[in-house]
A and B are shown apart, each in its own frame.
Chain A
């Protein structure tokens, strides 16, 4: 790896914390190095909306003092984190990648931010995102580019969070996922992204896209980092019970279902990587079987019919008073949502129940569901939700959002054009920690990580 701050850029959050405890590194040194790396790379990637240099340096100083006195606040004290720019931090603008909220200064912190700061994590800044997380780049903000090839998109909508982590500008980040917006950019950028069970992580202070489908979740370069960050933001009242229920750490005998509806239509390079992954998992003792979820064939339409009216309700006033301030495609989607008949919306809500029940029956037989996260590698531009490519992009990630199922994307090798591919695992409702344990074992079984890419064109 090369580039500014490169010596520290490849360290995982858990490795940084271990070195802080050993006094081999300090949070001040790490923040300095990462700020230097951001300054050197972001003209190419456009991953950051706000770099909170002053806030981060102050927090790093305080954290370094705590380590000096042997009193860190928790396992990730002093670890820098990026936040998607729909997440409120008092004193930093929350723009949501839009012109409409360009100058919006929140008066309080999101609940996840309060948790992170209480644990000593260092907020390094706010990251680029598709406008209001709704599938399109606003031209004022511009596309976030992929560290593996800056001519390609980092994906969306948590584009900046994924790109910043993948490029080693920050070890961990938060994103939001309403149809794949954590897992899709994680897949395109070759990192790990978790969409937790619906309601498991607080949405308070995170600008909504769709109240009943929004999820806040972590991104990182390793499953261990994602699990550590999830521990800080998990609001389950009794997570210890899940730990006690957890399966053994071995993959031997794990019952995994390959979702028939999600293996068709996958591009050759992605399919080859997926098949190699299944072989590796079978070699590690996983019992694979094909499972069929016929209701999922309707999930893409149902997902949009639930999401779109909710999004349009949120934007009700602005689409009437400030239509010119939206990106063209975002406005079209919001107008469309306002015109969906009520009975059609309710029909989609009813289908949700149907899909959830069918999925629950399958998850009674198998412990995890497997599929490629996306059927292709990172395209040049983010496809609009209503387009054919847009529909295909979210095909394998939308159903989990619709029914609140936890799902994680892990890298599974490179495909055509030397771009990352990803394997998606979905687990049982509320068993997020079990899913993380299984994902960690699967990631080990898939062989070496791909690491941080050389970023062409950086200073």
Chain B
């Protein structure tokens, strides 16, 4: 099974919906297994269709410019900046 792009880069394995990132394995078999762990029945065809979509999303998230844990991008809640309203 191929690990995700992020796991390849830093060797880290983070909890992901109860399943480790490395364990996902972006193959149809891996997706079927991941789905099984969350009680979701996928046919091999369904899993095959999901592989490129999931891969794309994981890679996109990997490129998000939020890698500085101490920086502004990690602080506050998602709507922090929208609280400018005094209404």
Binding site for B on A (CB under 8 A): 197-198, 212, 236-239, 241-242, 295, 298, 301-302, 304-305, 319-320, 323, 332, 335-336, 338-344, 347-354, 356-357, 359-360, 386, 403-405, 428-431
In terms of DSSP, what is the predominant structure of the interface of chain A? helix
Chain B residues near A342: list those with CB within 8 A. 14-17
Contact A359 B58 (CB under 8 A): no
Are B72 and A404 within 8 A (Cβ)? no
A219 to B66, CA, bound (A): 36
CB distance from B14 to the nearest CB of A (A): 4
> Are A403 and B81 CB-contacts (below 8 A) given A298-B63, A304-B57?
yes
Task: Check A197/B82 contact, CB under 8 A, given A238-B87, A350-B73.
Answer: yes
Taking a contact as CB atoms under 8 Å apart, the answer to whether B82 and A356 are in contact is yes
A142 to chain B, nearest CB (A): 24
Q: Is the CB of B60 within 8 A of A338?
A: no
Write the nearest CB–CB distance from B8 to chain A, whole angstroms: 15
Residues from 32 to 54 in B contacting A, C-beta threshold 8 Å: 34-35, 38-42, 46, 49-50, 53-54
Give me 25 A-to-B residue pairs in the complex whose CB atoms sit less than 8 angstroms apart, sorted by A's number. Answer: A197-B82, A197-B85, A212-B78, A236-B87, A302-B64, A320-B41, A336-B53, A340-B54, A340-B57, A341-B14, A341-B16, A341-B58, A342-B17, A343-B16, A344-B16, A347-B66, A350-B74, A353-B73, A353-B75, A353-B81, A354-B64, A354-B66, A354-B73, A429-B81, A429-B83
- Contact present for B64 and A298 (CB under 8 Å): yes
Q: Which residues of B contact A (CB under 8 A)?
A: 14-17, 19, 21, 24, 31, 34-35, 38-42, 46, 49-50, 53-54, 57-58, 60-61, 63-66, 72-87
Q: Sorted from nearest, which 4 A-B pairs have the closest CB atoms?
A: A430-B85, A341-B16, A356-B81, A301-B60
User: Bound state CA distance, A107 and B57, in angstroms?
Assistant: 39
| Chain A residues, Cβ within 8 Å of B15 | 342-343
Chain B contacts of A405 at CB under 8 A? 82
B61, A404: Cβ atoms closer than 8 Å: no
Which of A304, A341, A429 is packed against the most chain B CB atoms within 10 Å? A341
Tell me the bound Cα distance from A312 to B51 in angstroms.
17
How long is the Cα–Cα vector from A332 to B31 in the complex, in angstroms? 13
Tell whether, in the assembled complex, residue A429 and residue B84 are in contact, meaning their CB atoms are under 8 Å apart.
Answer: yes
The interface residues of chain B lying within 8 Å CB-to-CB of A431 are 85
**Nearest CB in chain A to that of B47: its residue:** A335
- Say yes or no: A320-B81 contact (C-beta < 8 A), given A241-B87, A343-B15, A350-B73: no
- Asked whether, in the complex, the Cβ of A347 is within 8 Å of the Cβ of B64, the reply is yes
Nearest chain B CB to A210 CB, angstrom units: 13
**Pick from A236, A344, A403: contact of B82, CB under 8 Å:** A403
Contact B87 A336 (CB under 8 A): no
Taking CB atoms, residues of chain A closer than 8 Å to B31 are 339
